[in-house]
Chains A and B, each alone.
Chain A
Amino acid sequence: MTSEIKALAMPKWGLAMTEGAVTAWLVEEGATLREGDEILEIETTKITNVYESPAAGTLRRRVVAAGETVPVGALLGVVADASVPDTEIDAFVARFQEEFSVEAAASAEAAGPEPRFVDAGGQRLRYLVMGDGKGEEGVAPLVLIHGFGGDLNNWQFNQPMLAEDRPVYALDLPGHGGSAKHGVVGGVPELARAVRDFLNALGIQRAHLGGHSMGGAVALHLAAEEPARVASVTLVCSAGLGHDINIDYIEGFIAADRRKEMKSVLETLFADASLVSRDMVEELLKYKRLDGVASALRAIADASFADGRQSHVLVDRLEGVGAPVQAVWGAADRIIPAAHARTVPAERRHVLDGAGHMVHMEKAGEFNRLMSDFMSMA
């Protein structure tokens, strides 16, 4: 229990989020909360997710009613110890509301983390960095690597929370997001080289790696090649642990150039298909329309998933990775079967129910806890 008063503020999920709608409160005023308890549901134009309590205490106020839309940073509710008098809570709310203005929030947002670019091994790569490791020396940063067709925004529910303990970098692989689209050749080994160049360019000596799907195989490959530079590896619904892959998804994603096709392709990524919003579809179509993307995706798919199977299976290289490796999977993954997690020892694999291939989005809270616990032990 804490005696301080804690504001629950509208979070910023992803670069484009400016406001969110509270769709439902999941707990009543007066409820006792542990850190990580789900408090309310928030819907953005892109996706719906739960907001978890940042601290233990009592939910003292629900400031925003279900159905209301408020800007990023706005006060949603207040958590404090039950012993804090109501008058102090009211004074806290009044002070917050007085100091909070949409303009200030908007300009703070403009000053917030913006993606940057770095020239790594001759390729221009985009990345987003959050967190400073609280100034502690020697804290290894985390580097997050998205999957085929993804980008750094895939970590929007993870990066801000994980950045409380250490600097967290999310990058766009070559051919993806805001990184260079031309001259992309090869698959996992070439992409792992690009990540190594990225680490070199930013002067990162040693890092925790988190890789999703194809990005998991990239992380594993890098860890096997350069074991001294890797503190831990978290494989998320990862490629590289078996030959199976839903090739219809890969080919469908490459082929989809219309909303309807793209929507049905994306629905296979989630256990809850209703999470695929109009904006999510539109954003991916916008990415796919960029010059060079089609040939980059083709080149990567040909090198990585020829004949409908994964080409780069790295199970026999797991032993060469000195750092601890954990696997996190969605039980309902329809892209890479959760059975592939069995290549990792039982105590280091976590198969989460109610989640598909995007387990880090669908079960963000649980995922974030697994990841931060694992890294703090590693």
Chain B
Amino acid sequence: MSKKSYRQAINEALAQEMRRDPTVIVMGEDNVGGMGAPGEDDAWGGVLGVTKGLMPEFGRDRVLDTPITESAFIGAAVGAAATGLRPVAELMFVDFLGVCFDQIFNQAAKFRYMFGGKAVTPVVIRTMYGAGFRAASQHSQCLYPIFTHIPGLKVVVPSSAYEAKGLLIQSIRDNDPVIFLEHKVLYDEIEEVPDEPYTIPFGEANLTREGDHVTIVALGRMVGFANKAADMLEKEGITCTVVDPRTTSPLDEDTIIEAVEDTGRLVVVDEASPRCGMAADISALVAQSAFKALKAPILMVTPPHTPVPFAPELEDAYIPTPDKIADAVRRVMA
């Protein structure tokens, strides 16, 4: 055990799986960096340094720099997976999904189904998401609801360093296409992470707090915010259960429903836009399956339905906060 950042945890998961399994390869824009120029080897390790150190250990055959052509290299990764490798491709920002979506949702997601289970596509697409990085509308979105909508994709939204390592190793070993979403504001968050490899199974929610009054379901960066809100509220005598689903597909419906049945109240927190997002989806699930347990209307804490603003004051106002979550909890308790 030692303290590691979210970035180090992801890097360690990649390195350990590459050591364990020679079919694991890493590819993406500037995943090595330096364009092979003398003295510039391993210059970048991805735009925020997550893959740094992999090329010197595993060589250029297994750590590939790709052109700035998501349609080409995401397609190549899907094809490589179909022919026996386990590629981990980095789609730098999830916002660039638009130029390679056919490769993901019409090819990777469909192979197992359309070939009658005879084809597997063990590709992982790592991608950065989320606001709070002052990176403006085209580099700040939370697009996991779009992937979650597509049957055949598994979608992982790790909320901390421990979660990131175990879920990424699980993603690499999984035989289906996995979209692994890393919140760029979490990269320097530190916690205890085992040095040994480990896996966290998909579709198993984590309870980060257990309480009697309100269930808060939150994803990714919002889990930490929900924990902060729960700790504030505990001083007021309101105790919360905080559910981190970890994966939006598969979704651990049972744990969410059971948690709401215990507390009778639900607040769902999502950094994605409110329409057709996980907050709406989970609200619908609970309304359908646990309506009789509800003592108050379900509340959603999400940003407004607008692009992510660039002005820092507006961006801060856009993102859900621990205070906004605590307010929603107080309202369902009123």
B-binding residues in A (CB < 8 A): 178, 181, 257-259, 278, 286, 289-292
Nearest-neighbor residue (CB-CB) of B192 within chain A: A16
Q: Across the interface, which residues of A come within 8 angstroms of B231, CB to CB?
A: none
- In the complex, A36 Cα to B52 Cα: how many Å? 56
Q: Check B201–A286 contact: CB distance below 8 A.
A: no
* Given A259-B207, A278-B207, A278-B210: A290 and B196 interface contact (C-beta under 8 Å): yes
- B239 CB to nearest chain A CB (Å): 13
Whether the Cβ atoms of A291 and B210 lie closer than 8 Å is no
How many residues of B are in contact with the other chain, CB < 8 A? Answer: 13
Provide the bound-state CA to CA distance between A290 and B199, in Å. 7
Q: How far is the CB of B179 from chain A (nearest CB, A)?
A: 22
- In the bound assembly, the distance between CA atoms of A291 and B194 in angstroms comes to 11
Proximity bits, B150-185, A CB within 8 Å = 1, else 0: 000000000000100010000000000000000000
Whether the Cβ atoms of A290 and B198 lie closer than 8 Å is yes
Q: How far does the alpha carbon of A258 sit from the alpha carbon of B1 in the complex, in Å?
A: 22
Is A291 in contact with B204, judged by CB distance below 8 angstroms? no
* Contact B207 A290, beta carbon cutoff 8 Å: no
Residue of B nearest to A289 (CB): B198
B135 at the interface (CB under 8 A from A): no
Q: Are the CB atoms of B210 and A289 closer together than 8 Å?
A: no
Instruction: Give B194's nearest chain A residue, CB to CB.
Output: A290
Q: List 9 A-B contacts (CB under 8 A).
A: A259-B207, A278-B207, A286-B194, A289-B199, A289-B200, A290-B196, A290-B197, A291-B199, A292-B196
A257 contacts B197, C-beta separation under 8 Å: no
Q: Which 7 A-B residue pairs are closest in the complex by CB-CB distance?
A: A289-B198, A291-B197, A290-B198, A290-B196, A278-B210, A289-B199, A258-B204
B207/A291 in contact, CB under 8 A: no
Contacts of B210 in A (CB 8 A): 278
A353 to B244, CA, bound (A): 40
Q: Is the CB of A291 within 8 A of B196?
A: yes
CA distance A278 to B201 in the complex (A): 18
Question: In whole Å, how far is A223's beta carbon from the nearest beta carbon of chain B?
Answer: 32
Nearest-neighbour CB distance to chain B for A266, whole angstroms, equals 15
- Chain B residues near A291 (CB-CB < 8 A): 196-199
Contact code string B185-212 (vs A, CB < 8 Å = 1, else 0): 0000000001011111100100100100
Which residues on A sit within 8 Å (CB–CB) of B194? 286, 290
The complex places the Cα of A317 from the Cα of B144 at a distance, in Å, of 62
Q: Which of chain A's residues has its CB closest to B1's CB? A: A178
**Residues from chain B with Cβ under 8 Å of A290 in the complex:** 194, 196-198
Q: How many whole Å from A294's CB to the nearest CB in chain B?
A: 10
| B196–A181 CB distance below 8 A | yes
* Docked complex Cα distance between A291 and B204 (Å): 18
Q: In whole angstroms, how far apart are the Cα atoms of A10 and B198 in the complex?
A: 34
Max chain B C-beta neighbours (<10 A), residue from A259, A289, A290, A292 = A289
Chain B residues whose CB sits within 8 angstroms of the CB of A286 once the complex forms? 162, 194, 198
Query: Closest residue of chain A to B203, judged by CB?
Result: A258
Residues of the A chain whose Cβ atoms lie less than 8 Å from the Cβ of B201: 257
Nearest opposing residue in chain A for B201, CB measure? A257
Q: In the complex, A181→B194 CA distance in Å? A: 13
Having A286-B198, A290-B197, A291-B197, one finds 11 other A-B pairs with CB under 8 Å, namely A181-B196, A257-B204, A258-B204, A259-B207, A286-B162, A289-B166, A289-B199, A289-B200, A290-B194, A291-B196, A291-B198
Distance of A290 Cα from B201 Cα, bound (Å): 12
Residues of B within 8 A of A278 (CB): 207, 210
Question: Could you say which residues of chain B place their CB within 8 Å of the CB of A258?
Answer: 204
Contacts of A289 in B (CB 8 A): 166, 198-200
B216 CB to nearest A CB, Å: 16
| A278–B200 CA distance with the chains assembled, in angstroms | 17
User: Nearest-CB distance from A123 to chain B (Å)?
Assistant: 14
Cα(A257)–Cα(B200), bound, Å = 9
A250 to B162, CA, bound (A): 27
Closest B residue to A281 using CB positions = B207
Could you tell me the distance between the alpha carbons of A181 and B207 in the complex, rounded to whole angstroms? 27
Contact partners of B207 in chain A: CB under 8 A: 259, 278
A184 to B1, CA, bound (A): 21
Chain B residues whose C-beta falls within 8 Å of the C-beta of A178 in the assembled complex: 1
Kindly list chain A residues whose C-beta atoms are within 8 Å of the C-beta of B204: 257-258
CA distance A278 to B204 in the complex (A): 15
Residues of chain B within 8 A (CB-CB) of A257 are: 201, 204
Give the most central of B1, B198, B199: most A CB within 10 Å.
B198
Q: Which residue of B lies closest to A292 (CB)?
A: B196
Per the bound structure, the CA–CA distance linking A278 and B210 in Å amounts to: 8
Chain B residues within 8 Å of A181, by CB: 196
Once bound together, how far apart are the Cα atoms of A278 and B259, in whole Å? 14
Distance in Å: Cβ of A308 to nearest Cβ of chain B: 27
Q: How far is the CA of A24 from the CA of B201 in the complex (A)?
A: 39
Residues in B whose Cβ lies below 8 Å from that of A292: 196
| Nearest A-chain residue to B210, judged by Cβ | A278
In angstroms, how far is the closest chain A Cβ from the Cβ of B52?
Answer: 24
Kindly state the separation between the CA atoms of A44 and B162 in the bound complex, as whole angstroms: 22
What distance in Å separates the Cβ of A289 from its nearest Cβ neighbour in chain B? Answer: 4
Closest chain A residue, CB of each to CB of B258: A260
Q: Return A319 CB to nearest CB of chain B, in Å.
A: 42
User: Which among A178, A181, A278, A290 has the greatest number of chain B C-beta atoms within 10 A?
Assistant: A290
Give chain A nearest CB distance to B288 CB in angstroms.
22
Which residue of chain A has the shortest Cβ distance to B169 in the bound complex?
A: A291
Least CB distance from B2 to A in Å reads 11
The smallest beta-carbon distance between B24 and chain A, in angstroms, is 15
B residues 1-21 in Cβ contact with A at 8 Å: 1
Please give the distance in Å from A16's CB to the nearest CB on chain B.
9
Q: Which of B192-245 contact A (CB under 8 A)?
A: 194, 196-201, 204, 207, 210
The answer for the CA separation of A259 and B199 in the assembled complex, in Å, is 15
Bound CA–CA A32/B10 (angstroms): 57
Most chain A Cβ neighbours within 10 Å, of B166, B196, B197: B196
B169 CB to nearest chain A CB (Å) = 8
Nearest residue (CB) in B for A16 is B192
Chain B nearest CB from A282 CB (Å) reads 8
Chain B, residue nearest A288 (CB): B198
- Shortest Cβ distance from A124 into chain B, in angstroms? 11
**Could you tell me the distance between the alpha carbons of A291 and B169 in the complex, rounded to whole angstroms?**
10
Whole-angstrom CA separation of A119 from B196 in the bound complex: 17
Distance between Cα atoms of A257 and B252 in the complex (Å): 14
